[in-house]
Amino acid sequence: MTTELWTLTIHEAHALLKARTISARELLDAVETRVAAVEGEIHAYLTLCRDAARAQADAADRRLRSGKDLSPLTGIPIALKDNLCTTGVKTTCASKILEGFVPPYDATVVERLRGQGAVFVGKTNMDEFAMGSSTENSAFGGTKNPWDRARIPGGSSGGSASAVAADECTAALGSDTGGSIRQPAACCGIVGLKPTYGRVSRYGLMAFASSLDQIGPLTKDVTDCAWMLNAIAGHDSSDSTSAALPCPDFSSGLGRGVRGLRVGVPKEYFIPGMDWSVEEAVKAAIAVLEREGAVPVEVSLPHTEYAVAVYYLLATAEASSNLARYDGIRYGHRAKAPADLFDLYARSRAEGFGPEVKRRIMLGTYALSSGYYDAYYAKAQHVRTLIAQDFRRAFEQVDVIATPTAPTPAFRLGEKTQDPLQMYLSDIFTISVNLAGVPALSMPCGFSPDGLPIGLQLIGKTFDEETVLRAAFAYEQATEWKTRKPEF
Ligand code: GLN
């Protein structure tokens, strides 16, 4: 083999595995060699599953030899964000409060990948409880951007994104509550998709904000993204918010092109203060789509300016309720020698949660407290409805919406850690999508003068991931960004 196997996409590896040109074990060994070479510089993983992965690869090889029951993911090395429950493998949410926690069950997405013969390389680093945009809020140390090790990989799925970008896995899963798949995908120069709320089961995803959370793929290209979505999407009786809708084959329509496709360009997403290189790259990407036959249409999403405030009220309110379960009793960290039950709760939580999680619990508890509920939580719910309505109206005129994923390329490590508001503002272009529940993808559309990747965000109608993927594929075919790789 001339190509290094760790660089392969899922579809390239699948062709070689199926033809028996390579074995699943060889592919895993190559990926592990790559991990050994670069992980010291990146810290994408919290846990590596070497022995279990080898057993899974050998089982995949038996399946490949038999030729029976093959799936596109059989033998493919995948990384999982550490908020997805995995039977017998530590799942910590990058929090001290869950240090050493080993779930007795698989998240539905994990069970589905396992059933298809995927190989789990390990569990990836993240902001504690998925709260953050830089992976610096991990209790176990941050992750570095493969393109520039002095910069953040984005967050909260920064471990998954950097593992894909640095070829430390073939593809990964992350979760996205306010941008946590798309923004790290943009920072690391890869493809990331947040599916429609309800498209993918959340069972076994440790909850942050249940009305916003959604699991999705981080991949090396658009085809892989469609393949991963095929593998994880669909109704699950264990998650009552998962939609009982049939799933199309998300890969079959990729090549249909964008002739006549109406691409909305919201004026509220090109704002003073954003990086000029981002604005230029995204406008050039829209021009590429136009050359391919798409029709750009200016649209307005007038309530965009309220999105950050609404999100940080609702997400923190839901988090304060979801995180009440970490009481030091059933699992995770327990304070030593408590004086009484209250002392046990108070000290276990004080010792177990990091500063950002505590800040969110306090904000959320305040927003929900009697006397303030109507002024904050209820008001935010009303504005959430207006934001969703903005998207419904815009989608009466267009088929897909194109925007930047983030206002700047990856910022420097430590640059925003002392200023939570600045950190929250980096989510300005991603959070409305979660509030509205619609699907959105980020993909590379250029590089800053410093050589940092820039993300193009494509937003779709509810349950119309197909059009998003089709537009993304057309853009990918017309450009060469995916051939660039970070240097080590
Ligand atoms: N950065 C956002 C936050 O800190 C989004 C996180 C996420 O999507 N999980 O809440």
Whether 267 is a known active-site residue: answer no
> Where does the pLDDT of residue 272 fall: very low under 50, low under 70, confident under 90, or very high at 90 and above?
confident
Pocket test for ligand 1, best of 81, 93, 126, 127 (most atoms within 8 A of CB): 127
Share of the chain above pLDDT 70, in %: 99
Q: Is the CB of 180 under 6 A from ligand 1?
A: yes
Pocket test of ligand 1: the residue of 156, 214, 357 to mutate, having most ligand atoms within 8 Å of its CB, is: 156
pLDDT band at 273 (very low <50, low <70, confident <90, very high): confident
> Could you tell me the CA-to-CA distances from 207 to 3, 141, 203, 477 in Å, in that order?
40, 22, 9, 37
Which of ligand 1's atoms lies nearest the C-alpha of 179? 8
Specify the range with the lowest mean pLDDT, choosing from 238-252, 276-290, 327-341: 327-341
Please confirm, yes or no, whether 123 is among the known catalytic residues. no
Q: Is 176 in the pocket of ligand 1 (CB under 6 A)?
A: yes
CA nearest neighbour of 79 among 113, 115, 102: 113
Question: In the prediction, which pLDDT does 421 show?
Answer: 87
Tens-place pLDDT, residues 370-414: 899 999 999 999 999 999 999 999 999 999 999 999 999 999 999
> What are the structure tokens assigned to 352, written together?
């177990």
Predicted confidence at residue 425, as pLDDT, reads 87
Q: Ligand 1 centroid vs 25 CA: distance in angstroms?
A: 36
The model scores a pTM over 0.95: yes
Task: Find tokens 């001339």 and name the residue.
Answer: 2
pLDDT in tens, 35-69: 999 999 999 999 999 999 999 999 999 999 999 98
| pLDDT at 370 (0 to 100) | 87
178 in contact with ligand 1, CB cutoff 6 A: yes
Q: Which residues contact 257 (CB under 8 A, 6 or more apart)?
A: 292, 293, 470, 474
Residue 367 has what pLDDT? 94
300 classed as catalytic = no
| pLDDT at position 271 over 70 | yes
Pairing mode, strands 171-176 and 214-219: antiparallel
In 82-118, which positions are buried (b, 16+ CB within 10 angstroms) versus exposed (e)? Answer: bbbbbbebbbbbbbbbbeebebeebbbbbbbbbebbb
Q: Which residues pair with 403 in a beta bridge?
A: 457
pLDDT over 90 at 338, yes or no: yes
Cβ contact 85:322 at 8 Å: no
Instruction: Please say if the pLDDT value at position 1 is more than 60.
Output: no
Mean of per-residue pLDDT scores for the chain: 97
**Nearest residue by C-alpha to atom 4 in ligand 1:** 132
Question: What's the pLDDT band for 331 if we cut at 50, 70, 90?
Answer: confident
DSSP string computed for 462-486: TT-HHHHHHHHHHHHHH--GGG---
pLDDT at residue 332, as a whole number: 87
Ligand 1: centre distance to CA 64 (Å): 39
- The verdict on the CB of residue 192 being under 6 Å from ligand 1 is no
pLDDT score at 56? 98
Active-site residue identified among 134, 156, 157, 432: 156
Active-site pick, 157, 162, 175, 180: 180
Place of tokens 């090790």: 149
Give the per-residue pLDDT at 422.
87
Give the number of the atom of ligand 1 that is nearest the alpha carbon of residue 131.
4
Q: Is 130 in the pocket of ligand 1 (CB under 6 A)?
A: yes
> For a pocket test of ligand 1, which of 157, 180, 214, 419 has the largest count of ligand atoms closer than 8 A to its C-beta?
180
Alpha carbon of 306 to ligand 1 centroid (Å): 16
Domains assigned to the chain: 3-232 (3.90.1300.10)
Check pocket membership of 94 for ligand 1, CB cut-off 6 A: no
For 258, residues 6+ apart whose C-beta sits below 8 A from its C-beta are 289, 292, 293, 294, 470, 471, 474
Closest atom, ligand 1, to C-alpha of 181: 8
pLDDT digits (tens, 9 = 90+) for 280-324: 999 999 999 999 999 999 999 999 999 999 999 999 999 999 999
Minimum-distance ligand 1 atom for the alpha carbon of 434: 8
Per-residue pLDDT at 2 exceeds 70: no
pLDDT tens, 186-220? 999 999 999 999 999 999 999 999 999 999 999 99
Dist CA 470 CA 294 (whole Å): 12
